[in-house]
């Protein structure tokens, strides 16, 4: 699953190679690629052909292209779902077809924008833009209007987000992953941010200080910025790529995926436990687990 830094790398590549270009002809061959579009592939082709890509935008892990400079509620945009393995590639004119190529658009400079997706969870949808439900006036693709600002946006307010997290009073990692509270923090960076903060992900957010929750959000931003610095320069000039599954992105992680390896701070073996159908990785010393609740909930069963 691509995380925010990978999506941002793709967005930057699209800014360099696709923004300003007109989509001369469009072809969608993957049946699943168009499955979110009510009118299917035919409608995607009809609504994209001849239009000029005016912007490449991102909020959290959502990525979209604005069209013809129309930046208003109701205007079309191309929402790109990267899914598990979706790639937006830009190739030169006449590049040979590749496996798992599901959609392509010939650009007016002769290059070709391609959507390649091995596992076909991703796709393209042409959708109207709508105002964000947070009341900020930011325009988002309508299906993403409920998504909160991500830590890289100037509109993001870590203190306000931390207050929401404390008020919801549940496991803090669950809230870091909740895209309606703060967007773009996936499982990997939630674990990394919690390790940097010295917080166990199962700690109840209402019992963590406002300062510590704000700190965790700031760490999430910093750890993703570090990943972006490490990975943002490693793509070829004419090869815009995202592939979260292959380890293409050069990550240097402190706890995620390091179960059994020593914590970089104290040397204790990193532990992995199941959480929300995924894994949580943490140092049991630097990030002490919350104590189990006692009392009424642990009454012995009466037979």
Is residue 265 a contact partner of residue 197, using CB atoms and an 8 Å limit? no
Q: How far is the CB of 287 from Zn ion (least distance, A)?
A: 7
Cβ of residue 281: shortest distance to Zn ion, in angstroms?
Answer: 12
Closer CB to Zn ion, residue 59 or residue 200? 200
CA distance 273 to 279: 6
Structure tokens, 219: 């760490």
Residue positions annotated with a catalytic role: 2-3, 61, 278
Q: How far is CA 273 from CA 86, 258, 276, 282, 286, in A?
A: 28, 12, 10, 9, 16
| Min dist. Cβ of residue 273 to Zn ion (A) | 15
Taking the least distance from each CB to Zn ion, the nearer of 147 and 286 is: 286
Which lies closer to Zn ion via its Cβ, residue 175 or residue 286?
A: 286
Based on the number of CB atoms within 10 Å of its own CB, is 15 exposed (0-12), middle (13-18) or buried (19 or more)? middle
**Radius of gyration (Cα) for the chain, nearest Å?**
21
Structure tokens belonging to residue 129: 């833009």
Q: Which residues are annotated as a binding site?
A: 100, 119, 168
To Zn ion, the closest distance from the beta carbon of 79 in angstroms equals: 41
> Nearest-CA neighbor of 6 among 73, 74, 63, 75?
63
Tokens of 25: 């002809």
Residues binding Zn ion (CB under 5 A): 263, 265-266, 268, 283, 285-286
Going by the annotation, the residues of the binding site for DNA are 100, 119, 168
Indicate the residue among 115 and 195 with the shorter CB distance to Zn ion.
195
User: ∠ CA 185-189-195 to the nearest 5 degrees?
Assistant: 130
């Amino acid at each position: 699953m691509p995380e925010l830094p990978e999506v941002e790398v793709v967005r930057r590549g699209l800014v360099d190679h696709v923004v300003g270009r007109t989509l001369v002809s469009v072809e969608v061959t993957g049946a699943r690629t168009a499955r979110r579009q009510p009118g299917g592939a035919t409608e995607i082709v009809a609504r994209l052909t001849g239009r000029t890509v005016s912007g490449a935008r991102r909020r959290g892990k959502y990525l979209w292209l604005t069209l013809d400079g129309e930046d208003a509620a109701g205007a079309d945009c191309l929402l790109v779902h990267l899914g598990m393995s979706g790639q937006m590639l830009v190739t030169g004119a006449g590049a040979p077809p590749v496996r798992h190529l599901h959609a392509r658009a010939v650009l007016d400079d002769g290059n070709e924008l391609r959507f390649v997706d091995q596992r076909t969870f991703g796709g393209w949808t042409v959708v109207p833009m709508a105002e964000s439900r947070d009341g900020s006036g930011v325009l988002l693709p309508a299906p993403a209007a409920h998504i909160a600002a991500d830590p890289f946006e100037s509109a993001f307010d870590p203190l306000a987000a931390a207050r929401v997290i404390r008020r919801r009073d549940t496991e803090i990692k669950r809230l870091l992953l909740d895209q309606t509270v703060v967007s773009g923090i996936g499982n990997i960076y939630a674990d990394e941010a919690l390790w940097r903060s010295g917080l166990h992900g199962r700690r109840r957010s209402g019992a963590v200080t406002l300062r510590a929750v704000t700190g965790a959000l700031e760490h999430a931003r910093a750890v993703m910025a570090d990943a972006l610095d490490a990975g943002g320069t490693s793509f070829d000039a004419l090869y815009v790529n995202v592939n979260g599954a292959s380890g293409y992105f050069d990550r240097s992680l402190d706890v995620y995926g390091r179960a059994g390896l020593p914590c970089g701070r104290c040397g204790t073996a990193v532990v992995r436990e199941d959480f929300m159908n995924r894994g949580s990785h943490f140092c049991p010393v630097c990030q002490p687990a919350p104590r189990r609740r006692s009392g009424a909930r642990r009454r012995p069963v009466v037979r």
